[in-house]
Amino acid sequence: MRAFVFTDPALTSRAGQFVWLEMNVDDERNAAHRERLSVEALPTFFVLDATDESVVMRREDGMTVAEMDAFLEEAGRAASGKGASSPAEAALLRADRLNGERKKAEAAAAYREALDQAPPGWPPYGRAVVALLFLHPSLNEEAKCLALAREALPRLTGSPASVMVARSGLDCALGLPKDEAGRVAAVAEMEAATRKTLAPPGVGAAADDVSSSYLSLIQARKAAGDAAGATRDAEAWAAFLEAQAAAAKTPEQRAVFDSHRLSAYLELKQPERAVPMLEQSEADLPGDYNPPARLAVAWFEMKKLDEALAASNRALPKVAGPRRIQVLQRRSDIFAARGDAAAAREALAQALACAESLPPGQRSERTIQALKKRLEAPPAKPER
């Protein structure tokens, strides 16, 4: 999003319609705002009424430039306080407000009401579906999520939103109880729908969306016990990301794909494929902790522990906030694999100290408890 959408001149005309704030949720200065806004996924976009700081609209997940433009158009209208022009729009405005207040069940009911009243060709239809598809799983309503995906897909065929809708249907089908009648058929149905949205020439969805769909397909193949199929999908995932990276116009745009490419290569058990791209990113973006932190992961998986430790050494001085905990945990793994139990424990203790020092909004009791549990456990035996 940051490297692609917000750099697009097509959005320049919106500049004077809002005041624009970018909020790095890992930055301690933003911890209280992150907590108040209940940021649960990244990216999340908000439009606030500045007079009372109420959330007028909220949207999770990436968007294309066109989707962002439509979001801004709608948000601007909603923030202006102009009344709704139809029952569907009134329900949608209410749903957005409730969603902004994180009254999830009430928001879901209002989105449902909006969709039930939506006339054919209603422009916000796709956005309302996406919002509701985010809410259902968070309310443990996988069956409703699946039903909504089935209902909406025919109306969204060929649109960028169809990628997220099909994938959500697949994720929700996979999330159904394993013994539920119809689960296998639902997974197969939604897997086919997801594959259809990815088939050439594509539907112009954001790369985030497409990439996430490959991961869902891999999980579906694994759930079916089809390891070879999972590997084929992982190869397709890696190829998609490599093509996206090759088409990038700047180092920042190319590095956007590093994280998912590393995940794809790890899925393929080919971590060595990540090394050249990450070394390039480290050279291009010397202030960024991510490339050396990811290199530490790749080298570790390759059992190249000296290189992994060296990469960790380079990442550590550059990382602060919640992500420092992950870097330190990986560092502990590296030390443990080298047979240095004392250093492994020290890195874990540093991770715990870091976790306990974070302010509300960044602090995670679950992480703290997990680190304490790891520290209480006997030292792991070295891997080599």
Partner 1 sequence: MNRHRWTAPALGLLVAGALAAPAAAADIEKALPFVADDYGKALAEARSQKLPLFIEAWAPW
Q: Give residues 197-216 in contact with partner 1 (rule: CB under 8 A).
A: 207-208, 211-212, 215-216
8 Å CB contact between 97 and 75: no
* Binding status of residue 85 toward partner 1 by CB under 8 A: no
Q: In the complex, what is the shortest distance from the CB of residue 121 to partner 1, in angstroms, rounded to a whole number? A: 27
286: burial class by Cβ within 10 Å (0-12, 13-18, 19+)? exposed
> The tokens of 257 are what?
């794909």
* Binding status of residue 260 toward partner 1 by CB under 8 A: yes
Among 86, 259, 313, 369, binds partner 1 (CB under 8 A): 259
In the range 316-335, which residues lie near partner 1 by CB under 8 A?
Answer: 323, 326-327, 330
In the range 218-257, which residues lie near partner 1 by CB under 8 A?
Answer: 219, 250-252, 255-257
Q: In the complex, what is the shortest distance from the CB of residue 362 to partner 1, in angstroms, rounded to a whole number? A: 11
- Cβ count within 10 A of residue 224: 14
Q: In the complex, what is the shortest distance from the CB of residue 159 to partner 1, in angstroms, rounded to a whole number? A: 19
* Binding status of residue 262 toward partner 1 by CB under 8 A: yes
* Binding status of residue 167 toward partner 1 by CB under 8 A: yes
Q: In the complex, what is the shortest distance from the CB of residue 141 to partner 1, in angstroms, rounded to a whole number? A: 12
> The tokens of 243 are what?
């093509």
Please identify, using beta-carbon distances, which residue of 50 and 192 lies nearer to partner 1.
Answer: 50
Distance CA 246, CA 264 (A): 16
CA angle in degrees (0–180, nearest 5) for 213-214-215: 90
Distance CA 314, CA 309 (A): 9
User: By C-alpha distance, which of 131, 201, 199 is closest to 168?
Assistant: 131
Please identify, using beta-carbon distances, which residue of 115 and 319 lies nearer to partner 1.
Answer: 319
In the range 264-293, which residues lie near partner 1 by CB under 8 A?
Answer: 266-267, 281, 285, 287-290, 293
- Cβ count within 10 A of residue 50: 10
Q: What is the DSSP letter of 262?
A: H
* Binding status of residue 61 toward partner 1 by CB under 8 A: yes
Please identify, using beta-carbon distances, which residue of 53 and 356 lies nearer to partner 1.
Answer: 53
In the range 36-55, which residues lie near partner 1 by CB under 8 A?
Answer: 37, 39-51, 53
Judged by DSSP in three states, 3 sits in: coil
DSSP result, 28-49: GGGHHHHHHTT--SSSEEEEEE
Please identify, using beta-carbon distances, which residue of 50 and 66 lies nearer to partner 1.
Answer: 50
In the range 16-35, which residues lie near partner 1 by CB under 8 A?
Answer: 16-27, 29-30, 33-34
Among 79, 146, 347, 351, binds partner 1 (CB under 8 A): 79
Among the listed ranges 97-105, 106-114, 163-171, 336-344, the one in contact with partner 1 (CB under 8 A) is 163-171
Please identify, using beta-carbon distances, which residue of 7 and 117 lies nearer to partner 1.
Answer: 7
Count of residues in contact with partner 1, rule CB under 8 A? 95
Q: How far is CA 16 from CA 11, 19, 48, 203, in A?
A: 11, 7, 15, 31
8 Å CB contact between 131 and 99: yes
Rounded to an integer, what is the distance from CA 283 to the centroid of its chain? Answer: 26
> The tokens of 239 are what?
């190829």
Distance CA 344, CA 290 (A): 21
In the range 121-160, which residues lie near partner 1 by CB under 8 A?
Answer: 134, 137-138
Among the listed ranges 96-104, 166-174, 196-204, 369-377, the one in contact with partner 1 (CB under 8 A) is 166-174
Please identify, using beta-carbon distances, which residue of 37 and 305 lies nearer to partner 1.
Answer: 37
Q: In the complex, what is the shortest distance from the CB of residue 300 to partner 1, in angstroms, rounded to a whole number? A: 8
